[in-house]
Structure 1
Amino acid sequence: MPTSPRYNVCPGTWITAAWHSGEGAPLALGQLWWGYRPHWATGKAPEPINAKSEGVATSRYFRSAFARHRCLVPADGWYEWLALLDGKQPHYITRADREPLWLAGIWTERPDGNPGCAILTEPARGAAAEIHDRMPLALDDDSLAPWLDPHMTDREALRGAVHHLDDELLTHWPVSRRVNRPANDDASLIEPADDEMG
């Protein structure tokens, strides 16, 4: 597990997540590869990093993981890009109270035997909708236990037990365009920057 904070987490890397790794396994906090490809997928099968919440329960590619292999990805926030006349301006979206976010995800055993995940997304809400039309599915505190419960496999029961975070808790601000380079990974990336000079 990483021993230092990360400020520019990119797809195709190991990310921290909470999940049950198997039948009867205790809840674990460990590393999942950010890239979802089931072990049975062959050839040029996609390796998505996100899955739309609207169809994840019924998609052949995702439905088994949705029923039995759900996970939570902790984060302080995420980046989205707002189109401006001089290019795209990155914004950092986070909780106004600075509490951690728990992003809903699904995981699967990949063809290489390692666990890989995708983060669920939903239509953007609240402050996030000012920047992008979609956002990660961030869950409220009461939803964390049922989302991780491997015995809760019924879609309707899960839908009734799991709720997204109140959109009034979200805020955002423009940040440096240094975030566009994956090699840049330091705390200054989440500091507010002028929206035209970032």
Structure 2
Amino acid sequence: MCGRFALYSSYPRLSQALRLSLSQPDLELVPRYNVAPGTWITGVWHQGPDTGPAFGQLWWGYRPAWAKEGAPQPINAKVETVATSRFFQAAFRRHRCLIPADGWFEWLPTEDGKQPYYLSRRDREPLFLAGIWAERIDGSPGCAILTEPARGAAREIHDRMPLALNEASLEPWLDPDLTDRETIRQVVRHLDAVHIEHWPVSRAVNKPGEGQGAVLINPA
């Protein structure tokens, strides 16, 4: 799954890594080292029918406006079912987004309790996680991050991981005119698992409100 991540790269660095023409937000990106669900997070998506992809803020929790008030508000969607699930399929077809992250956290059970690990690219370049979004009942966008079976080093910590896309997949993933499920599967690829590494970090990260400093991703 993906239930916590860090984002501290600046907008210019993210734009450079995306290699897409994006307008720069007026405000600087505030580094966050313990991003939790149920908060506003940075994303990239087409925010209008005649606009290109742009940075914006999405609520991390997916509940379309048409869903009942008591409907679930998942933070993740499985790649195996996102295209066929009634709850997700419309967003998968036309409302895909990217969630930039510098790394994410997973927990490994130990005799002393759960030990958090931080997973990131070996070269420390930003990751771009595949997401879907839908308009919430209040008109704001809410999103879920796609997950897939864990691969490579990530499999040592958890059985699932966020779907991080390779560079060639970023533009087609955002393309609202690309709606055919099979075509999407053919042109969108995940980042090679060889690029991912992990290390144990402080258990202070276990509490979402426990600070936001870079110390949270230092090796424990």
Which residue of the partner structure matches residue 196 of structure 1? none
Asked if residue 77 in structure 1 is aligned to residue 108 in structure 2, the reply is no
> Deviation of residue 44 (structure 1)?
1.3
* Aligned sequence identity (%): 67
Q: How many residues align?
A: 193
| Alignment partners' CA distance in 2, 1:90 and 1:79 | 6
Identify the residue that residue 39 of structure 2 maps to in structure 1: 13
1:103-122 maps to which residues of 2 (within 5 A)? Answer: 103-122=129-148
Quote the residue 2:188 is aligned against: 162
Query: How is 1:128-167 mapped onto 2 (pairs within 5 angstroms)?
Result: 128-167=154-193
Aligned to 1:186: 213
Deviations 1:68-106 (A, max 9, x none): 000000000000000000100000000011111000000
Counterpart-to-counterpart distance in 2, 1:179 and 1:86: 16
TM normalised by structure 2 equals 0.86
Describe the superposition over 1:119-172 as per-residue Cα deviations: whole angstroms up to 9, x where unpaired: 000000011000000000000000000000010000000100000000000000
Q: CA separation in 1, counterparts of 2:63 and 2:111?
A: 37
**Rounded Cα–Cα distance in structure 2 between residues aligned with 1:33 and 1:43:** 16
1:26 is displaced (CA, Å) by 2.1
Give the whole-Å Cα distance in 2 for the aligned partners of 1:121 and 1:170: 15
SS in 2 for 1:7: strand
Structure 2 gaps of 5+ residues are 1-26
Please name the residue that 1:67 is paired with: 93
Is 2:101 the partner of 1:39?
no
Question: Residue in 2 aligned with 1:125?
Answer: 151
Whether 2:124 is the aligned partner of 1:98: answer: yes
